Chain A
């Protein structure tokens, strides 16, 4: 049995108000911070103010003596406790009794009767430090003279090499011109409106329940079980679909481990016999939580007179999180250079180093927007050097097209929509008629307009970890979706309900979905980000097929016939009837008896198969050449999404991705104070997220080419939520170049850098 094909009743068709809107607007939806349990206590943490060193002394006596304080945990408490000293976050201590590795690191925790007492108690903990030398910058981190972040281990956190053909030889062939550039991205954070929050309860039987919005619920469950010394079956993590996951709520640094405050809350809940609630402040989120890495790329291309890149070499340096490597680092990002175009020769090296910067890890399409910016900026410079249109340059290179295999791995790519995206965005934007090469003789005064274009392919949303899920029938014929690792965020639940309702032929109102619940599955790894559309959607589709199969079998028994003589109504009438005599039928409600119908699904991609999501964008900017301030006037963006499931969800994901891209391109940065290594830029006044007033005119569209079984069981959709952040960063950079003839090699492209490039500062 397979899912029905088009035309669809709901998939890509449903245009009603968002299913969750009434609950959200009326406040019935509980966010992580709202999840309060009776008799709960409150956790607060104290943060380090130095980037590197050890704790010389910590006096918590005043904090312990404060009325309302229930527990205080210091690094020495952890070190001297037989059980707690064995608890590791990754491979590091629960609290840093060995050494501090970044400013803003959690160095103590307080649990109190209310959060304000807990906060005051944290402030009452007196700390002195033995500071030691620190290192922040990517290239500095792996220098032989760099202070060690995790002595005696080397700072080297990850290396990668991708080699195809012979770039060195190709680079020196006759007719080949070389261009080399250095690009440096910025460390940035999600700045999510809802910071991380969780509530953990450990009862007297050892049963552990955690309520939080995380994409890593399975590893949270296993980490809590390990920390508490209970069996995995005693731990249950609910991932709340009400909050966004953002990536920074997932883990403590790229390794899918629970954050120290989460583990501390669990062990203190166990000790106190009370639930413990923790709601991070925005500042804690900025300091403790995960960031997209700062990466430096050195790119050299060897190209011919047509603009065909015959050789590409790149060296990437990333600041590894102080604790673990990060998917957003050079080692994770470099393969984004080779997924859009089939360069005939390339050698890419990535070297990441541990540094005393903030923790780094997943952030919307972790490994992509910064390499997208670097490579597309570089290719735009090649086009400029040759005096050709950047689209001509794109067409002179060998873009991946449908049916191609990955030239490095040989893997089959499920579907490839890059050429379609490019063609569509050219039509939407009118790029070819608008684009004119920057004229060096044009005086740069006042406001000038520019237009830029970029392509990008990413693996996010194209593939995902293996996943399991189920759908359960109720007595009235309605269904409830059971997923262990919920796709956090508003749109995920709606997407899953639409898939199930379409697959089972149900009215939308007859399908519900609970929060993710680790008791509903097994630990098959975390399905995160856009992978949730892919594999959570797939397992729901497969679970529906399983349920349909059981329903048909039961209907055949009730109607005294065989399943091949039955028709399963997909029109929302909730019935199965004998095909030849439709008056002979059973309703879904009649099938809802014992044993309960439960459809199950398990999904993993076929071997040697990979999936990718493609985007093309055109950006138009006004650059005030007297102030360096940039206004993005228009963005046109097209994404290859396989199959649209949830219309308004797709639209808003695209536009939010564009807005995040513009923040990354033009404004956002969070970096410690260089001379001291201490935390700086810790408020939303310092970190300049894009504002609603800065939203450009956005025109978005989609290429729909549904993926088929055995690659897809969700009606053919790719995960489309993360990739929209990628192409508008380089498209905007290229538009600025087109406007003023100056390339900005450091993100964000702020007014000071633009004025400097123009010789006005």
Chain B
């Protein structure tokens, strides 16, 4: 492991300026993603300096006012999962944060880190950059002919990459219509994610300053369901987050997203169309679940994920 310098900024402005000035620098918060990658030596380019955002005060908070839930970027996943406010009005987010990895990682990992983590694929993440895949500048996606059982797309591979985005909270935040506030702009979740490494639109030196979630209308409901090989630690084989209103009666408005099945959170618009005007029932859930994966084009080894994603949607609707 190469030696890496460490910088402790005093403010977001300081951190942003330092990162902008030093091309080889990279921000670090909880470190559960970055330290793993450094140890595996699988980053496309290894940072020479780590800018530790933990040294900046007041970046971890959860407040609700003016119809908006404001979450500080360094708020721990465990804090979000255990927040009564989040549990009450933003259930899908609390469930998603509580479903991430393990208690140890939830106690270290931050919300900003969880949505900015890189895509997952065991070729792309191979130790010592063993596989020079498309995403790393190579000429083939090794997953296409190789083993694509677990963490690969079922909705095709933009630019030939079949990796998936592993975040649980990103799926929930997308369904809850959240916005990501950065040092330069405010982005919807859809705009935040973008089909290029590292998976979002943040420029060098651009930092997340807050995540804003509009308070759902009274009478609406949200839920998140994760399906994974093991009931903790593992990334989702498929996850689903739904938000709809009203909770009882014919649905007039809804958002449905899938995670772990595409390079970014997958907006299941066909499922939303199928749900609108319907009352929640097992039959409706099954129809909507089927619609959610109607556009799926599974790879050679992961057709089962189509079933899992469909079931995740069904269970989220009925939860």
Contacts and interface: CB of A to CB of B under 8 A. Distances in A.
Interface string B124-151: 0011101100000000001001110100
Interface stretch (A72-80, A452-460, A622-630): A622-630
A680 B40 CA distance: 13
**Size category of the binding interface on chain A:** 35 or more
B231 interface: yes
Contacts of A683: 40, 127
Interface stretch (B63-71, B73-81, B302-310): B302-310
Interface string A689-711: 01101100000000000000000
B229 A626 contact: no
A627 B147 contact: no
B233 interface: yes
A49 B229 CA distance: 28
B307 A626 contact: yes
A676 B146 contact: yes
B232 A627 contact: no
Interface in B195-236: 227, 229-235
A686 B122 contact: yes
B1 A116 contact: yes
B142 A673 contact: yes
Contacts of A629: 227, 229
Given A627-B307, A683-B127, A755-B304, A688 B146 contact: no
B158 to A, nearest CB: 22
**Interface size bracket, B side:** 20 to 34
B126 A680 contact: yes
Contacts of A571: none
Nearest to A758: B307
Contacts of B301: 752
Given A626-B311, A755-B307, A688 B230 contact: yes
A116 B39 CA distance: 12
B146 A674 contact: yes
B237 interface: yes
B2 interface: yes
A675 interface: yes
B145 A675 contact: yes
Given A680-B122, A761-B307, A120 B2 contact: yes
A513 B234 CA distance: 42
Interface string A257-281: 0000000000000000000000000
A682 B126 contact: yes
Contacts of A761: 303-304, 306-307
Interface in B1-43: 1-2, 40-41
B1 A694 contact: no
Interface string A441-463: 00000000000000000000000
Interface string A121-155: 00100000000000000000000000000000000
B1 A678 contact: no
A752 B148 CA distance: 12
A627 B127 contact: no
Contacts of A693: 230-232
Contact of A688 (B145, B234, B308): B234
A751 B229 contact: yes
A752 B1 contact: no
Contacts of A686: 122
Nearest to B233: A691
Nearest to A115: B1
B127 A751 contact: no
A678 B307 contact: no
B311 A667 contact: no
Nearest to A673: B146
Interface string B283-314: 00000000000000000011110111001000
Contact of B147 (A626, A674, A688, A751): A674
B28 to A, nearest CB: 20
Interface in A649-675: 667, 671, 673-675
A136 to B, nearest CB: 12
B304 A691 contact: no
Contacts, number: 83
Contacts of A628: 304, 307
Interface in A745-761: 750-752, 755-756, 760-761
B232 A691 contact: yes
A627 B227 contact: yes
Contact of B130 (A49, A120, A685, A752): A49
A681 interface: yes
A283 interface: yes
A284 to B, nearest CB: 10
Contact of B229 (A116, A667, A678, A682): A667
Name, among B41, B122, B227, B304, the residue most crowded by chain A CB atoms within 10 Å (CB to CB): B304
Nearest to A684: B233
Interface in B93-131: 122-123, 126-128, 130-131
B230 A667 contact: yes
Contacts of A755: 304, 307
Contact of A680 (B147, B227, B237): B147
A681 B122 contact: yes
Contacts of A49: 130
Contacts of B227: 627, 629
Contact of B131 (A120, A674, A678, A751): A678
Interface in A572-624: none
Nearest to B314: A626
A629 B227 CA distance: 9
B261 to A, nearest CB: 14
B146 A627 contact: no
A679 interface: yes
A119 interface: yes
B233 A752 contact: no
A674 B1 CA distance: 29
Contact of A752 (B126, B230, B302): B302
A751 B146 contact: no
Contact of A760 (B123, B232, B304): B304
Contacts of B1: 116, 119-120
A667 B235 CA distance: 14
Contacts of A760: 304, 307
Contacts of B142: 673, 675-676
A756 B145 contact: no
A119 B123 CA distance: 22
B147 A673 contact: yes
B229 A750 contact: yes
B130 A675 contact: no
B231 A694 contact: yes
Contacts of A750: 149, 229
Contacts of B128: 123
A739 B44 CA distance: 46
B308 A627 contact: yes
B143 to A, nearest CB: 10
Given A673-B142, A680-B147, A752 B122 contact: no
A124 to B, nearest CB: 11
Interface in A401-432: none
A113 B303 CA distance: 51
Contacts of B302: 752
Contacts of B233: 685, 691
A527 B79 CA distance: 52
A338 to B, nearest CB: 35
Nearest to A628: B304
A691 B230 contact: yes
A662 to B, nearest CB: 11
A627 B311 contact: yes
A628 B233 CA distance: 19
B243 to A, nearest CB: 22
| List of 9 A-B pairs having minimum Cβ-Cβ separation, nearest first | A761-B304, A752-B304, A755-B304, A626-B311, A675-B145, A761-B303, A673-B146, A760-B307, A693-B232
22 contacts: A120-B1, A627-B308, A629-B227, A667-B230, A673-B123, A673-B147, A674-B147, A678-B130, A680-B123, A680-B126, A682-B126, A682-B127, A685-B233, A685-B235, A688-B234, A690-B230, A694-B230, A694-B231, A752-B302, A760-B307, A761-B304, A761-B307
